[in-house]
Every structure is written in C-alpha cells, then in structure tokens.
Structure 1
Amino acid sequence: MRGEAGLFADLAALGIAFDLHEHRAVFTVEESRAIDGDIPGEHTKNLFLKDTGGCFWLLTVPALARVDLKALPQAIGCKRVSFGKAEDLVRLLGVEPGSVTPLATVNAAPSTIRIVIDQHIAKADRTNVHPLRNTATVGLSGPDLMRLLEHWGHEAIVAAIPAKDEE
C-alpha cells in the first residue's frame, strides 16, 4: 500500500495542482455538508460496490446524487450490484468505511477494481475528494483526477449515472 505519501508524491510528479483542507472527521455526506460551504467546487460521494459476478466497483458521483442501483448495471455494463464489505474495501483500497475515495486507487492493482466517475465530476473545474482519510479534503480538477487514475493504471469509466426517483 502506497498510502497518502505515495498519493502526494504522484500529484507532485505529475504537476497536478491541488488544495488540501484539513477538517474534523466526516463519515457521511450529511456530516460533510457542514464543512462543504468553506471548500469551493464539486463535492462527491463514493460508493464501494460488488456485482453478482464478483467484480468490485468504485463509483464517484456528486455528493447529493441519489443513485438508482437497480438501473446502474445497464448504465455501466455490469451485473446487479450491492454494497461491498468493509474487509474488501480495506483489502483492495487500504481505506476504512467513511474514507472511500477514488484517490485510494493509488493502493489498488490495475484491474482489481473498476472505477466509474460521474460525467459531471470528470469534467469539473474543481472536484473534492478525501485523500485516503476523512479528516481532509483534496480539491483538484476532474481532468487531473482522470489523469491521476490513468497514471496508476486504472481505466476509469465516465458515465451518466442514473438517478433514483424521489419517493
């Protein structure tokens, strides 16, 4: 596991501009809304999923998105999905629940997890994600996030993520 030091070394090596904001631990999107106002840009939520075929998925969407998990497989080309187990999250990405982030793929071998980035996040001038821990937020551009994932050998899928209808 390369960890946060490896993440920041790669950001520097690739010349990727970013802002780092330290804050109290946040475990949910609702908790993070209290600090989001002080941090400009698109805020995200990340879902660690497993499909019925045994493949693991990391989905990054806008923080307030309500993802339709029943429609998601057709949108991204997988089988039915459910939430992944905490032990698989730690084993594959080296982070605990509450700290899920696409930046944790610094710890993942290529092809061990499929990464899906919402099309708005991938294009955003500024996207905010955790740097492997939920006590900080890193702001970088969506294109730079995609470049970083590619640098680590991950071919992220950029997709329109289906939204769940309001109930």
Structure 2
Amino acid sequence: MNDSEPLIEQKRQQLAACLDTLQIKYQSYCHPPLMTCQEADRIGLIRSGSRIKNLFLQDNVGKRHFLLITYSETPIDLKMLAKEQQTKRLGFASERRLAHYLNATRGCVSILGLFYDQEQQVELWIDRQLWHETNGLQCHPLDNRQTWVISKPDLTRFIEYTRHSIQLVDL
C-alpha cells in the first residue's frame, strides 16, 4: 500500500456516499491503474457506457478553469476551442491546480471531481455530440483503478447537486 492509498479510498467513499444520498446507481469496474484510454485498449478492457477523456484546462492567465468532457478519440484543437468559447488561450492546468479545484491527480481527472469544487470555480464543458448520443458515461471515482458507469440522467442530477451547469461545446 502506498502513502496515498488511504486518501484515495476516502475520496472514493465520499463520492459513493454522495451518489447513494442522491439515489444514483452506478456500475463499477475494477481494473489495473489506467492513465489513458490507450492503456485500457492494450489490456482489452470492456466496459459499458461511453468512453471519454477528461481534460482540465485553464485560460492563459489561470483565472478561469474548465473541465472538458469528450469522446476518448475526439481530437481537440485548443486554439479553436478558445476562440469559439471567447476565452483567451487555453492550456492544461497544473497538477497543483487539479488537486486544488477537483481534488484529483493526473490520470484520475473526472466529472465526479466537481463534488470538491464547492465554490463552482470550474466551468463544465461537455462535447455536444457526446451528450446527445450517450446513455451513460465512464467515470473514474478519482481512482484510476476503478470505473463507474453512470447514466446521463443521474449525471445530470449529480451536476445539479454540485451547483455546476453544463455548457455544451462543439468540437
């Protein structure tokens, strides 16, 4: 067991308790640690729900933060996205900011991290095509050794509970 294991377990339990309180059901999969979707491909991992990537971004001055959710295979043009969203240059936020705003580490970024953004400082951007096509999303419970598949209506309820709003974006 490494030093961060108790903290990871605590976060997972907090998220599970939140979902239980909201009467949100999820399908849970345990697997080896996965930093990327490509690693899941290499081990032949099959799970239900839409496979996604979660990108934690910031504007060029670090005043605004964004969680972008899209299909795992969708290419992202940050310059075009910044222009379309009328924000200054976009880039990946630091691990320090990721920990501060979403209580997550690299490789464990998840929409479920919005639970920890209690001041709603992170803006949620979801790929419009993904949101219209999906029935449920694969989410890490801030632990890349598990995947929880949550239905779109239940995710919507979770997002509302965290007092965030969904901004659909065209990628």
The reply to whether TM is greater than 0.5 is yes
Indicate the residue corresponding to 2:35 in structure 1: 27
Indicate the residue corresponding to 2:166 in structure 1: 156
CA 1:37 to 1:75, structure 2 compared with 1: closer, same or farther past 3 Å? farther
Structure 1 runs, 4 residues or longer, greater than 6 Å off: none
Q: Give the distance between the partners of 1:143 and 1:46, measured in 2 at CA.
A: 19
CA 1:38 to 1:27, structure 2 compared with 1: closer, same or farther past 3 Å? same
> How many Å apart are 1:76 and its aligned residue?
3.1
Q: Which amino acid aligns with 1:22?
A: C
Indicate the residue corresponding to 1:5 in structure 2: 13
Aligned runs of 1:15-164 on 2, under 5 Å?
A: 15-34=23-42, 37-53=45-61, 54-123=63-132, 124-160=134-170, 162=171
Note the alpha carbon deviations across 1:65-113, whole angstroms, 9 max, x for none. 1111111123334221011111111111111100001101111123211
8 Å CA contact 1:48–1:83 kept in 2: the answer is yes
Q: State the percentage of identical aligned residues.
A: 27
Note the alpha carbon deviations across 1:95-142, whole angstroms, 9 max, x for none. 110000110111112321111111233341121111111101010112
RMSD between aligned residues = 1.9
Q: Give the distance between the partners of 1:28 and 1:139, measured in 2 at CA.
A: 17
Q: Which amino acid aligns with 1:109?
A: Q
For structure 2, the 5+ residue unaligned runs are: 1-6
CA 1:75 to 1:147, structure 2 compared with 1: closer, same or farther past 3 Å? farther
Q: Give the distance between the partners of 2:152 and 2:86, measured in 1 at CA.
A: 22
| Number of equivalences | 161
For structure 1, the 5+ residue unaligned runs are: 163-167
Q: Which amino acid aligns with 1:94?
A: N
Note the alpha carbon deviations across 1:45-67, whole angstroms, 9 max, x for none. 01111102421111111011111
Q: Give the distance between the partners of 2:44 and 2:80, measured in 1 at CA.
A: 29
8 Å CA contact 1:51–1:78 kept in 2: the answer is yes
Q: Give the distance between the partners of 1:75 and 1:145, measured in 2 at CA.
A: 25
8 Å CA contact 1:6–1:106 kept in 2: the answer is no
Indicate the residue corresponding to 1:165 in structure 2: none
8 Å CA contact 1:122–1:145 kept in 2: the answer is no
- Please, what TM-score do these two structures have when normalized by structure 2? 0.85
> How many Å apart are 1:6 and its aligned residue?
2.3
Q: Which amino acid aligns with 1:30?
A: Q
